[in-house]
Amino acid sequence: MTGFRNHYRHLPDQVEPVPKLFLHHIDIVNDRYLRGWCINRLLPNKAVTLRIYANKQFVGEVRCKQFRKDVQKAGLHTSGNCGFEFQFREGAVTSKTILKLAVKRYPKTIVSIPAIDIQPALKDTPTIFFMHIPKTAGTSFNNHVQSWFAYDQWHIHTETYDTEKLRSLTRPGTYLAGHLPLFKIRDTFSNVANIQLYALLRDPLMQLHSHLAWIKGIGLNKEGQFFRSHPPVVQTLATKLQQHALQTPEQIAAFINQLNGFEWDFFDNIQTRYFLEYRPDRVGENDAESAMNNFKQFAAIGLTENYQAFLMKMATLYGRRMSKQTSKHNQSKVTPLFDLQSQEIREAAKPLIQFDQKIYQAIKTANNINDPSNRYPL
């Protein structure tokens, strides 16, 4: 991480309105943290050094050499080693600060960030835990909410953390997220009542389709790094899925009928499973009722299909200025496995989604402001 220098230098006042030499993007900015990427289009293999100014006072510089898979995948940079992260010392950025970024030895400002776009990082709020159910837009949500926190105050993929480390992170102004169902969250945090829980639910057939496509995609290249980076149990399932066509109701029914053992954990009403305080062998009616009863433990539950409203709810709760999130993350680009509009397909997939459909409908009803019962949170 870049350190700070004790001297100040003045930044050139001339601002480049449409930079041609440098490609760049700012992902996150607040009064404690700045993240993004920058590329010299003429010398793409040479890392850019950015100089950072607050109200024309030099506060530090950073080399853009961190790996950015998204930039590489978009074809903008061969190696993807063009990202940067910078931490501001406390008090360096205020509500009246204008941030400007210039490339070292280049005479123009390439980025100017007005004070109105720089919010203070959250400090005194209770610990937030986002229960990330796979394929419900959780990655997009994590990327958006990260901008509300200081650099060392957010942690995603906490399912990879050991229990003691995770427990140590429950402090004010901290954001945690992970693929941890409710029973694991409660086993991990003895003070779970003091943690604000959030989650997103998605139309069950859509969620099942994305989850199937993602696991099937892992098995496309068994010699590739993506395949090898997953545990053997996932590799086995991905390889098995490659052998199944899932285009017709009959093919889907046949696939479901041959699922066994651990395979049910991957596909059987997975959203309902996340809201349970125990792990069932197979989800049933009583489990759906238990899941809905556990909704009350959450500060808010949103819908992927009503994603912007959920962001607005969160922004209001935490006093954030809300801007529409236009970028989406971790989207599958594979050809659809089956017709998502087909009622016959939905009926064939019923054993894997029927209880997810029930809890999804409960939250969908709660999101309707005209619903007089409104007994679940957003």
Q: Kindly state whether residue 6 falls inside one of the protein's structural domains.
A: no
Same domain, 146 and 229: yes
Of 141, 130, 154, 129, nearest to 306 by C-alpha is: 141
- Tokens encoding 29: 């900015």
Q: What confidence tens digit (pLDDT) does each residue in 239-264 have?
A: 988 988 999 999 999 999 999 888 88
CATH at residue 72: 2.60.40
pLDDT classification of 10: cutoffs 50, 70, 90 = very low
**Residue 22 · residue 110 · CB < 8 Å:** yes
Same domain, 111 and 219: no
pLDDT of residue 348: 97
Q: What are phi and psi of 187, to 5 degrees?
A: -70, -30
Same domain, 207 and 333: yes
pLDDT classification of 162: cutoffs 50, 70, 90 = very high
* DSSP, residue by residue, 272-308: HHHT-SS--SS--HHHHHHHHHGGGG-SEEEEGGGHH
Same domain, 199 and 216: yes
Looking at the structure of the chain, the number of domains it has is 2
pLDDT classification of 192: cutoffs 50, 70, 90 = confident
Phi-psi region for residue 72, left (φ > 0), alpha (ψ -120 to 50) or beta?
alpha
- DSSP one-letter code for 314: H
Same domain, 159 and 295: yes
Predicted model pTM: 0.83
Q: What are phi and psi of 362, to 5 degrees?
A: -60, -45
Q: Which residue has the tokens 């029914």?
A: 253
pLDDT classification of 191: cutoffs 50, 70, 90 = confident
Q: What are phi and psi of 39, to 5 degrees?
A: -135, 135
Range of the domain at 57: 22-117
Higher-scoring residue by pLDDT: 24, 369: 24
Share of the chain above pLDDT 70, in %: 89
Torsion of CA 259, 260, 266, 270, to 10 degrees: 90
pLDDT at position 3 over 80: no
Burial of 71 per CB tally in 10 Å (0-12, 13-18, 19+):
buried
Same domain, 156 and 255: yes
**In Å, what is the CA distance from 147 to each residue of 29, 150, 159, 176, 277?**
6, 8, 21, 13, 31
pLDDT at position 15 over 80: no
Q: What confidence tens digit (pLDDT) does each residue in 296-312 have?
A: 999 999 999 999 999 99
Same domain, 84 and 232: no
Q: Which of 318-327, 328-337, 352-361 has the lowest mean pLDDT?
A: 328-337
**Residue 158 · residue 180 · CB < 8 Å:** yes
Q: Which residue has the tokens 């894997």?
A: 352
Same domain, 73 and 207: no
Q: What confidence tens digit (pLDDT) does each residue in 64-102 have?
A: 999 999 999 999 999 999 999 999 998 999 999 999 999
Same domain, 65 and 98: yes
Distance CA 154, CA 151 (A): 7
pLDDT of residue 135: 95
pLDDT classification of 332: cutoffs 50, 70, 90 = low
Of 271, 148, 126, 278, nearest to 199 by C-alpha is: 271
Rounded mean pLDDT, 195-221: 94
The partner residues of 148 in beta bridges, in order of sequence, read none
Of 327, 305, 282, nearest to 74 by C-alpha is: 327
